[in-house]
Amino acid sequence: MYLTFARTPLEAAPWFIPLHQPVLAINDLITTTLLLGYFHLTRKRSILILACGYLYSAVMATVHLLSFPGVFTPTGLLGAGPQTTGYLHVFWHIGFPAAVIAYSFLKQTDRHVDRPGWATAKAMLATLACAAVLGTLATVGSGWLPEMLKDNRYSSVFNIGRYGQWIITGLALVILFTRRSASTLDMWLVVVLSAWFFEIGLVSVFNAGRWDVGFYAGRAYGLVASSFVLIMLLIEHGRMYRDLAEAQATARTAARLQETQRVLRLALKAGRMGVFSWDLVKDRAWWSPEVEQDILGLRPGELAAQPDALTEYVFAEDRDRLSAQIRDCIGNKRECDVEFRLRDAQGNPRWAFARGEAGYDDGGKATVVFGVLADITERKRSEAAAAEMEVHFHTMADELPEIAWMARPDGWIYWFNRRWHEYTGLSQDEAEGWGWRQVNDPDLVPAIVARWRHSVATGEPYEMVIPLKGTDGRWRQFLSRAVALRNNEGQIVHWFGVNADITAQTEAEQTLKLADQRKDEFLATLAHELRNPLAPIRNAAELLTRMPGLPSSVERALAIVDRQSRHLARLVDDLLEVSRITQGKVSLRKKDVSLVDCLSDALHAVEGALKAAGHEVLVHLPDDPLYASADATRMVQCFLNLLNNAIKFTPRGGVIGVSAERLPGVAKIAISDSGIGIPPEHLQDIFGLFSQVIPALERSQGGLGIGLSLVKGFVELHGGSVEAASAGAGSGSTFTVILPLLEQPALAPADAPRGSQEARLHPRRVLVVDDNRDAATSMVALLQAAGHQVREAHDGKEGLRLAFEFEPEVVLLDLGMPGMSGFDVARELRERTAQAAPRIIAVTGWGQESDRRLTREAGFDFHLTKPVNHTELDVLLSMDVAVAEQAPVRH
């Protein structure tokens, strides 16, 4: 049956279509947008299908509008035929119900989409493609489709389309209603499909074609229903978003709470702690799993849910104290901290720490207790071990003979060992902090405090020698040292110091210094006393050698006296030299010298001794001069000592070898012999002071055993080394000297004219002042024999008087004389301005460096030690004044 009213024709109103369908399309697009937003929140595929249904409806409504004839153009903007709008209406109204049917089935077993953006893009592209295909078919291919309209009236062919869309919409409504949920979205979809169903009935089923009552009424009803649903959907969407935001906030809070609980669990487990709560009103308790499992060794839930359930595991000795302390804390409304002992389920003793706090009602009555229980067994063991170690440390420290002390990082001394109290008599309270200053020298306290504060500020070790006053009132010297004790981060946690009594050591050092000083004085005095008698002997021997026509027996006796006196003088010089080396008082006059020349000079000096001993000498010297920065005199002395040793300790007719060669950067000089050799056990000590390989009673050659010590000292002062080698007794020995060479030696200066360095026969007026009459008389005789005019004095005053009367050109002046010393005489002579100052030469048995310094300060020009080298004296006497002023002063 048809409703005849719906088929009532009305006047054609093409303007109605552009008024109705744009609003409908906009409503559908807004709904699509809202549903897509909902999909991105829920990620449900059913929501995406529903959104695509609304998008399809909006697109088809737009295509239907653009193809409707007579609205914009007689055949529509898309150039459609009379059948286009009918087919588009059918395609349009079939697509949306189909989407609702798919939504109804998918929402029951819906799965979340992992990539909502990509899924949205694919679904929208598929929807638009479907709309494009159906729109193209209805417009371009309308001629292929059966005719639906004839003169604005539906044909019988249209029955299939109009009833088909009506049936599909009804089916969608039934499926949705039967599968509906409690969601508001399903309720509004039921309303939308109902409106959709009635719109199809009015527009397509009950009317007769275009421009009748059903045509206008159905579209108007659909527009009102669509707008109403859109408004409701907007309201519902806002509420849904609000609820969803609240749900998400709740979920985030729950996630944070869950994460916090996991962290708390881990912290409790790592710290071997658990938590508990007591409901004092209901007499119930809750224990965390950590209390039961980790602390008591129980299974979860095994500990009774009563507040006093823990008591049975507590040591009997601690129960009363624990209960009393808990009652006191609850009664006084304060936090409770208590340590106690317990036994776990396996019977193992443990230490526990509990901290709790009670909650109170409005009447001030305790209703609940919350707390933390921790296993502190390891801490207690560590504390016990540390306490035991501290006892052991204090016990050991108290047994130390030294004073021991400890300080805080800020320098506050808080502990002293027993030795401190025994020595100073100060108690711990009296000495603590800065009280220790009471037993320090008041004059040194500022320096001690400043040094200690510097160490505290910088962390540097503290070290000072300080005097401390004992209970007997005596001051003793202590070496005070302290070091910082640091933790793993490098922070100072303590200072530990020790004061060692070094009084005996200090006194021993002073005694040694005094003994060393006395030894030097003794050696100097010994040398002086030996040189004084040697001087006249050497003078007499020199004087006799200058006399012609002496009998051969006298000449032989004279040679013996000359040789032995020279040997004695050399022994005295060596003794003083080794003393100066051991004290570090030797100064070297270095210049560029040829080591080959030094070796040649030494060989020349021992030429007579070699001939007398009948030794064969094998010399291998290079053409290379081997230049070194060295003191030529000391080098000659080293080689001379080695050669003399080789001569002395080689039996008559032996072989002595001398060689030199260049090695990279150094020179190697070797002096070997075929003599008595050196036993292996003596090789290490051969260069020691007073070292002797042969016992004194077995030695046929003289010597003090200091020659090799001199060699070693001089070579090492030049940056070199010396070593001895021997295959054993009777196998000879080899001494090897290594000395650094110059890479680019300066050109050697041209030799000065020999005439300037040799004595020329030039008589001088000479004044000899010496309290040793034999020395003075023999020197006068020697000088007179050389043609000089000489005067003699035996004390300082007489010498000064003769100097003013005689006006000598040269004064040979002894130093140690009674009454007026040689120093005083020299000063008096230097202060004289009336006449030209004489050349003053010290002739003395004092040859120490300090003696030479004193003569320089007193105004002496030269310093000669007794017995005088007469060749050197002749040179000094024959030198012109100008040359003498340019010559280096021999000190």
Tens digits of residue pLDDT in 227-269: 665 666 567 666 766 766 676 677 677 777 777 767 767 766 6
Intrachain domains 271-381 and 400-501 with the same fold: yes
pLDDT range class, residue 587, cuts 50, 70, 90: low
What residue ranges in 549-609 does DSSP mark as E strands?
591-594
> Averaging pLDDT over each range in 91-100, 541-550, 584-593, which range is the top one?
91-100
pLDDT for residue 524: 65
Q: Do the Cβ atoms of 667 and 741 come closer than 8 Å?
A: yes
Quote the CA–CA distance of 175 and 177 in Å, as a whole number: 5
CA pseudo-torsion sign 542, 545, 548, 549 = positive
Q: Which of 499-513, 684-698, 815-829 has the lowest mean pLDDT?
A: 684-698
In this prediction, residues 478-485 reach a mean pLDDT of: 91
Q: Do the Cβ atoms of 669 and 621 come closer than 8 Å?
A: no
Cross-strand bridge partners of residue 341:
351
pLDDT at 208 over 80: no
Residues 6+ apart with CB under 8 A from 302: 292
Q: Which of 250, 312, 237, 311 is nearest to 39 (CA)?
A: 237
Return the ∠ at Cα 605 (arms to 600 and 610), rounded to 5°: 100
In this prediction, residues 834-841 reach a mean pLDDT of: 78
pLDDT at 583 over 80: no
Quote the CA–CA distance of 405 and 393 in Å, as a whole number: 12
pLDDT range class, residue 748, cuts 50, 70, 90: very low
pLDDT for residue 749: 45
pLDDT for residue 462: 93
DSSP 8-state secondary structure symbol assigned to residue 298:
P
Q: Which of 142-151, 727-736, 804-813 has the lowest mean pLDDT?
A: 142-151
Q: Do the Cβ atoms of 451 and 497 come closer than 8 Å?
A: no
In this prediction, residues 310-318 reach a mean pLDDT of: 87
pLDDT range class, residue 169, cuts 50, 70, 90: confident
In this prediction, residues 667-674 reach a mean pLDDT of: 92
Residue the block writes with tokens 């030894």 = 519
Quote the CA–CA distance of 832 and 829 in Å, as a whole number: 5
Q: Kindly state the tokens that stand for 566.
A: 């020279």
CATH architecture label of 15-243: Up-down Bundle (1.20)
Beta strands 153-154 and 149-150, pairing class: antiparallel
Output the CA–CA distances (angstroms, integers) from residue 838 to 678, 766, 799, 832, 861, in the order listed: 54, 9, 13, 10, 9
Q: Which of 216, 644, 302 is nearest to 312 (CA)?
A: 302
Q: pLDDT tens across 601-631, in order? A: 888 878 878 888 888 888 888 888 899 999 8
The angle that helices 773-785 and 503-545 make with each other, rounded to 10 degrees, is 40
Kindly report whether the global pTM for this prediction surpasses the value 0.85.
Answer: no
Q: Write down the domain spans for the chain.
A: 15-243, 271-381, 400-501, 508-563, 587-740, 759-886
CATH architecture label of 400-501: 2-Layer Sandwich (3.30)
The CATH number that domain 759-886 falls under is 3.40.50.2300
List the end-to-end C-alpha distance of the chain, in Å, as a whole number. 155
Q: CATH: 3.90.550.10, 3.30.565.10, 3.40.30.10, 3.20.20.140. Which one for 587-740?
A: 3.30.565.10
pLDDT range class, residue 756, cuts 50, 70, 90: very low
Q: Which of 819, 829, 812, 825 is nearest to 863 (CA)?
A: 812
Superfamily of domain covering 271-381: PAS domain (3.30.450.20)
Q: Kindly state the tokens that stand for 459.
A: 């962390």
Contacts 24+ apart (CB under 8 A), 111-120: 111/45, 112/42, 112/43, 112/44, 113/39, 113/43, 113/44, 113/45, 113/48, 114/43, 116/39, 116/40, 116/43, 117/40, 119/45, 119/48, 120/36, 120/39, 120/40, 120/48
